[in-house]
């Protein structure tokens, strides 16, 4: 995946709002923006790849000294805030995180942050993405990664069970193999990182309404992308059926239906 055309979610207002909601979800779940094990100093340099709306960096900027360098990269600048709305120490730019790291960025950063690459990594292999992130890191730098694990979504209610085959057919259409997520720590070690912390977690009950809404919003985007402007895959049901099942699930959340993925977190360090 080296083209912005391979992004299967939306780069529009709804997609932007979903990303911002997912940021708030992870902040509430984690209890932090920057992992507390990462040392902070005035010359800290932080990068985020797949920055989207830049909201993680924007919140981080409000918590750190203005001397800290904050750089966000994405393959598309469509969701970037206007530069006039950014603090002076935060810059956003275009970069393909599956490609070669530009020479001027190699070994530049103390921290690289990633979040929610589950619908971007295809074929079950995140190694190229991990190597790209490592290329940005200084020796001793930290990789902080927040991820979703859709392999066994938490389903509650008849409509959630009815929608699951639609979701699985969409994942197959886009060649999304999530097996790597449960082994993210192993993939990190295979590339030479030292794993500091790895957790396959679960959301508390208080966050289930927010995680369900963000999860279903993402699936509305996936349905649109799966059926848009192309001959549909043989594994997909008719579009009307897929949309109706999602609509019924959304309505069923008012009666307690739940459908969501589980959180995964990784903190790793580049030693040399």
Number of domains forming the structure of the chain: 1
Say which CATH number the domain at 74 has: 3.40.50.150
> Element (H or E) spanning 141, and its range?
strand 137-156
pLDDT at 4: 41
Give CA 142 to chain center in angstroms.
17
- Residue 141 φ/ψ, nearest 5 degrees: -75, 165
Q: What is the dihedral angle through the alpha carbons of 221, 265, 72, 209, rounded to the nearest 10 degrees?
A: 40
Establish if 130 belongs to a structural domain. Answer: yes
Establish if 149 belongs to a structural domain. Answer: yes
Establish if 225 belongs to a structural domain. Answer: no
Establish if 217 belongs to a structural domain. Answer: no
**CA separation for the pair 132, 100 (Å, rounded):** 7
**CA separation for the pair 20, 107 (Å, rounded):** 29
DSSP-assigned states of every residue in 146-192 = EEEEEEEEEEESHHHHHHHHHHHHHHHHTT--GGGGGGHHHHHHHTT
pLDDT < 70 stretches in the chain? 1-6, 152-153, 229-233
pLDDT digits (tens, 9 = 90+) for 126-169: 999 999 999 999 999 999 999 999 886 677 889 989 999 999 99
Establish if 256 belongs to a structural domain. Answer: no
Establish if 163 belongs to a structural domain. Answer: no
- Whole-model pTM? 0.93
Q: Are the CB atoms for 135 and 250 separated by under 8 Å? A: no
Establish if 250 belongs to a structural domain. Answer: no
Establish if 10 belongs to a structural domain. Answer: yes
Owning domain of residue 43: 4-153+176-203+261-269
């Amino acid at each position: 995946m080296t083209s912005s055309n391979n992004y299967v979610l939306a780069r529009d207002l709804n997609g932007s709002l979903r990303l911002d909601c997912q940021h708030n979800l992870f902040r509430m779940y984690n209890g932090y923006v920057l992992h507390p094990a990462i040392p902070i100093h005035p010359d800290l340099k932080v990068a985020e790849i797949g920055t989207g709306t830049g909201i993680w960096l924007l919140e981080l900027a409000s918590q750190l000294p203005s001397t800290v360098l904050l750089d966000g990269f994405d393959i598309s600048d469509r969701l970037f805030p206007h530069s006039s709305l950014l603090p002076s120490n935060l810059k956003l730019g275009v970069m393909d995180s599956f490609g070669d790291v530009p020479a001027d960025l190699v070994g530049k950063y103390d921290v690289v942050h990633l979040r929610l690459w589950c619908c971007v990594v295809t074929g079950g292999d995140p190694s190229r993405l991990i190597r790209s992130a490592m290329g940005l890191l200084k020796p001793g730098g930290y990789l902080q990664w927040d991820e979703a694990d859709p392999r066994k979504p938490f389903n509650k209610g008849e409509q959630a069970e009815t929608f699951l085959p639609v979701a699985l057919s969409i994942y197959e259409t886009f060649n999304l193999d999530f097996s790597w997520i449960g082994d993210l720590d192993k993939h990190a070690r295979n590339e030479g990182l030292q794993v500091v912390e790895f957790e396959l977690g679960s959301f508390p009950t208080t966050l289930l309404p927010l995680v369900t809404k963000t999860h279903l919003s993402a699936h509305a985007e996936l349905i649109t992308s799966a059926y848009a402007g192309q001959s549909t895959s043989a594994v997909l049901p008719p579009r009307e059926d897929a949309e109706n099942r999602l609509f019924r699930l959304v309505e069923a959340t008012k009666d307690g239906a739940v459908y969501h993925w589980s959180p995964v977190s990784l903190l790793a360090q580049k030693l040399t």
